[in-house]
Chain A
Amino acid sequence: MTMTNRVIEEFKAEFKSVDITEAPYEKQGYHLSIEARTGNLLNIIDFLDKREFYIIDLFCVDYQDYLELVYFFNTHRELCRIKVTLKLDPVKPVAPTISNTYTIARWYEREVHEFFGVYFEGHPNLTYLFLHEEIGHYPLRKQHVPVPDGDKKLLNSFRPHEEENSFFINLGPQHPSTHGVLRVVLKMDGEYLISAEPVLGYLHRMHEKMAENKSYMQFMPNPARMDYPGALLFNLAYVEAVEKLCGIEVPERAKYIRTITCELNRIASHLLWLGAFPADLGALTPFMYAFDDRENILDILEDVTGSRLTYCYFRFGGLYNDINEETFIDATKRFIERMRERLVMYDKLITGNVIFINRVKNIGILEQGQAKKYGFSGPVIRSTGIPFDMRKVDPYAAYGSIDFEIPTGHIGDNMDRYMVRMKEIEISLNIIEEGIKRLPSGPFKTEKVPKKLKPPKGDIYNAVESTRGETGVYIVSDESDTPYRMRWRVPSYSNLMTFPHLSRGVLIADAIATLGSYDIVVPEIDR
């Protein structure tokens, strides 16, 4: 009996009065849909928690007569996506908090509060996370709803208490590492961290609001700006979601080229991290070597897509233009050979370095048991030993027909995250080789795609494995040519929120090493 059926049976046995419906996975992207009420929401959450479901995302949609809180859950063992919805009154929306069961919900609920004005009862710290102090309205509501005066004090989100003997220091928005504008406020005792609190929102570029004002095609440049080292993968998530929603078929050649270019982009992003992570520890040499390799990939991709960093190559139904078979395949084969030799060099330069091993081994150990409460994904979860990769769990593009393995670590320390990413580079090289061998001929784009896409009414959730983890898009369409609501589930958000837990009581140098090993990109957190 599949997971879905088991869940339906057990759920109906326990909650007789709650609606649970099965949704067509191909069209909607999730298996089950549960309509909860304020009274029994916490019981449903407990039910899912007992069955090892982790929370994918928590957000809100403003249908003008009511606000709908949407929760998505999934398991690591078998793909079974469950959507739980809760309707709220638009004038005074109040909901119970689930942050006692799922820790990451603390931050998701703060975000829903500042964008929609929903109050969560029992939340430990319902202050603003992303927005600045002069904002006077809830931005993502469809009408202009001003912030009530009593809540203006919540806007000053970060004011630490003046304690007697604690020393606060800002790991500020301006710092010499490549994460982006991340601010972490550290409370220190000598050289040890007592607490680390990330402050976000310094690069909030309103992608979700832009999606409601632009048509589907006009929104195409935006996903690339969210995660610029791995732009093609975000492109893929968006394009596939809209294609599934409209029922557009993609030709085989386009799927294979999408796979090959996405894997090249994954290697480029991992090389950027490979330069930046030892730089956080103090080793400045690998930076130069990694960027040199990365320039090779950027040359190949620039030939095909036209840009170096923020690609916008996929279109609904295929690609923007076809690859030039001789030059592309030649250059890629030469690159693969060269990269294989360089990986041996990186092994000797970094992995075998005694200083690196001492800085990185047994630091920042993340346990498997935390995976459920935080929902982290990507190399972070694979380093703890759980082999969870969206390319295997739910194959998309051409990954279903290419054989590859998933690297896992053992204990989930920084060294394991490093080794998982290095092995992923090797595996990506293998995938590209396979893809080139099997590349079919044919059209690269479906012919009959309308210029102004008007998808049918409905919603869809689509997830891909981007360089940092599970990236998801949730689109609600109302038959017009702009999306009604678009929500991006980004992996760096849930990865980063384990940092306060991991950095309690460690030396500050070790905390910086842990932060570097996560490979977060702040624009995708701030969206």
Chain B
Amino acid sequence: MGKRSFHLETKDPIIKFAVLDKILDLARANSLWPITFGLACCAIEMMCASMARFDIARFGAEVFRPSPRQADLMIVSGTVTKKMAPILVTLYEQMPSPKWVIAMGNCAISGGPFVFEGQYNLVEGVDLLVPVDIYVPGCPPRPEGLLEGLMKLEEKITGTRRFPVPEPKW
């Protein structure tokens, strides 16, 4: 999905069998550590998601690491400009495997409200630069939207959704 032109060759681990994979995937999904990569307005909603009301700590992801060497989830929250693009790719490459990317907000999905004819400084969507796993639409998406994106990512990693979909009240 997406216009992927970026490809990092991933070598399989030395020990690999099914039950171990299941345990490791469960462990990785329960403790995703995001990198502090807030670019624009969506970053504020990402911070709200990690605060007391929309606690992201109950899903194990409140440890926002500033250094990519210690992180395994990159939440691209905000617009990616052409000047910022090489930095994003560098940081993605510096993260150790396995790693995932959530494109949060309309700007990261496809350029957002800043696409117009004659635009000269925008990368229309972060999936032109790095492979994206989950897209969370919104401008900016509510913190609950980001949490739902996190749930979908956990479902993608482990294969089953472990928390129920909340029932809409109206």
Does A pair with B?
A: yes
Q: What separation, in Å, do the CA atoms of A132 and B79 have in the docked complex?
A: 15
Per-residue 0/1 for B24-38: is the Cβ within 8 Å of any A Cβ (1 yes, 0 no)?
A: 000000000001111
Per-residue 0/1 for A197-224: is the Cβ within 8 Å of any B Cβ (1 yes, 0 no)?
A: 0000111111001100110000001100
Q: What separation, in Å, do the CA atoms of A131 and B113 have in the docked complex?
A: 20
Q: A135-B120, A174-B91, A308-B45 are in contact. Are A180 and B83 (CB under 8 A)?
A: no
Q: Would you give the shortest CB distance from A334 to chain B, in whole angstroms?
A: 17
Contacts of A288 in B (CB 8 A): 51-52
Contacts of A137 in B (CB 8 A): 120
Q: A228-B44, A272-B44 are in contact. Are A203 and B39 (CB under 8 A)?
A: yes
B52 touches A291 (CB 8 A): yes
Whether, in the assembled complex, B134 has its beta carbon less than 8 Å from a beta carbon of chain A, the answer is no
Q: Would you give the shortest CB distance from A297 to chain B, in whole angstroms?
A: 12
Per-residue 0/1 for A225-240: is the Cβ within 8 Å of any B Cβ (1 yes, 0 no)?
A: 1001100000000000
**Cross-chain contact of A229 among B44, B78, B84, B117 (Cβ < 8 A):** B44
Q: A309-B44, A310-B139 are in contact. Are A292 and B84 (CB under 8 A)?
A: no
Q: What separation, in Å, do the CA atoms of A182 and B161 have in the docked complex?
A: 38
Q: A225-B113, A291-B47 are in contact. Are A204 and B81 (CB under 8 A)?
A: yes
Q: A132-B121, A291-B52, A310-B139 are in contact. Are A175 and B36 (CB under 8 A)?
A: yes
| Smallest Cβ-Cβ distance to A207: which chain B residue | B114
Whether, in the assembled complex, A178 has its beta carbon less than 8 Å from a beta carbon of chain B, the answer is yes
**Cross-chain contact of B36 among A174, A221, A229 (Cβ < 8 A):** A174
Interface residues of B in 1-59 (CB under 8 A from A): 35-41, 43-45, 47-48, 51-53
Q: What separation, in Å, do the CA atoms of A221 and B116 have in the docked complex?
A: 14
A295 touches B114 (CB 8 A): no
B45 touches A203 (CB 8 A): no
Whether, in the assembled complex, A134 has its beta carbon less than 8 Å from a beta carbon of chain B, the answer is yes
Q: Would you give the shortest CB distance from A318 to chain B, in whole angstroms?
A: 24
B140 touches A309 (CB 8 A): yes
Contacts of B121 in A (CB 8 A): 131-132, 135, 139, 204-206
A178 touches B53 (CB 8 A): no
A203 touches B91 (CB 8 A): no
Q: Would you give the shortest CB distance from B129 to chain A, in whole angstroms?
A: 14
Contacts of A287 in B (CB 8 A): 51
Q: Would you give the shortest CB distance from A115 to chain B, in whole angstroms?
A: 11
Q: What separation, in Å, do the CA atoms of A251 and B43 have in the docked complex?
A: 36
B53 touches A295 (CB 8 A): yes
Summed over the interface, the residue pairs from A and B with CB atoms below 8 Å come to a total of 110
Whether, in the assembled complex, A379 has its beta carbon less than 8 Å from a beta carbon of chain B, the answer is no
Whether, in the assembled complex, A181 has its beta carbon less than 8 Å from a beta carbon of chain B, the answer is yes
B41 touches A523 (CB 8 A): yes
Interface size band for A: 35 or more
Whether, in the assembled complex, A282 has its beta carbon less than 8 Å from a beta carbon of chain B, the answer is no
Q: A175-B36, A288-B51 are in contact. Are A201 and B83 (CB under 8 A)?
A: yes
Q: Would you give the shortest CB distance from B62 to chain A, in whole angstroms?
A: 11
* Pairs A–B under 8 Å by Cβ, sample size 18: A132-B121, A172-B87, A176-B64, A176-B66, A205-B81, A206-B114, A206-B116, A209-B116, A209-B120, A213-B116, A214-B116, A228-B40, A228-B44, A272-B44, A288-B51, A291-B51, A292-B51, A309-B140
Contacts of A308 in B (CB 8 A): 45, 140, 142
Whether, in the assembled complex, B69 has its beta carbon less than 8 Å from a beta carbon of chain A, the answer is no
Q: Would you give the shortest CB distance from B81 to chain A, in whole angstroms?
A: 6
Count of B residues near A, CB < 8 Å? 37
A181 touches B39 (CB 8 A): yes
Interface residues of A in 147-180 (CB under 8 A from B): 172-176, 178, 180
Whether, in the assembled complex, B156 has its beta carbon less than 8 Å from a beta carbon of chain A, the answer is no
| Smallest Cβ-Cβ distance to B120: which chain A residue | A139
B52 touches A173 (CB 8 A): no
Q: What separation, in Å, do the CA atoms of A203 and B81 have in the docked complex?
A: 6
A221 touches B113 (CB 8 A): yes
Of A174, A206, A221, most B-chain CB atoms within 10 Å:
A174
Q: What separation, in Å, do the CA atoms of A134 and B122 have in the docked complex?
A: 12
Interface residues of B in 97-128 (CB under 8 A from A): 113-114, 116-122
**Cross-chain contact of B41 among A176, A214, A225 (Cβ < 8 A):** A225
B41 touches A309 (CB 8 A): yes
Of B43, B44, B113, B117, most A-chain CB atoms within 10 Å:
B44
**Cross-chain contact of B47 among A172, A173, A178 (Cβ < 8 A):** A178
B44 touches A206 (CB 8 A): no
Interface residues of A in 256-300 (CB under 8 A from B): 272, 287-288, 291-292, 295
Of B41, B116, B140, most A-chain CB atoms within 10 Å:
B41
| Smallest Cβ-Cβ distance to A177: which chain B residue | B36
**Cross-chain contact of B48 among A134, A222, A295, A310 (Cβ < 8 A):** A295
Contacts of A172 in B (CB 8 A): 87
Q: What separation, in Å, do the CA atoms of A288 and B50 have in the docked complex?
A: 9
Q: A203-B40, A291-B47, A291-B48 are in contact. Are A173 and B87 (CB under 8 A)?
A: yes
Q: What separation, in Å, do the CA atoms of A173 and B64 have in the docked complex?
A: 16
Contacts of A181 in B (CB 8 A): 39-40, 78, 84
Q: What separation, in Å, do the CA atoms of A209 and B53 have in the docked complex?
A: 38
Contacts of B38 in A (CB 8 A): 178, 180
Q: What separation, in Å, do the CA atoms of A288 and B53 have in the docked complex?
A: 9
Contacts of A214 in B (CB 8 A): 116
Q: Would you give the shortest CB distance from B35 to chain A, in whole angstroms?
A: 8
B53 touches A132 (CB 8 A): no
**Cross-chain contact of B82 among A134, A173, A174 (Cβ < 8 A):** A134
Of B38, B64, B83, B120, most A-chain CB atoms within 10 Å:
B83
Q: Would you give the shortest CB distance from A230 to chain B, in whole angstroms?
A: 12
Q: Would you give the shortest CB distance from B118 to chain A, in whole angstroms?
A: 7
A132 touches B140 (CB 8 A): no
Contacts of B40 in A (CB 8 A): 180-181, 203, 225, 228, 523
| Smallest Cβ-Cβ distance to A222: which chain B residue | B113
Q: Would you give the shortest CB distance from B51 to chain A, in whole angstroms?
A: 4
Of A173, A287, A292, most B-chain CB atoms within 10 Å:
A173
Q: What separation, in Å, do the CA atoms of A131 and B48 have in the docked complex?
A: 31
Q: Would you give the shortest CB distance from A289 to chain B, in whole angstroms?
A: 9
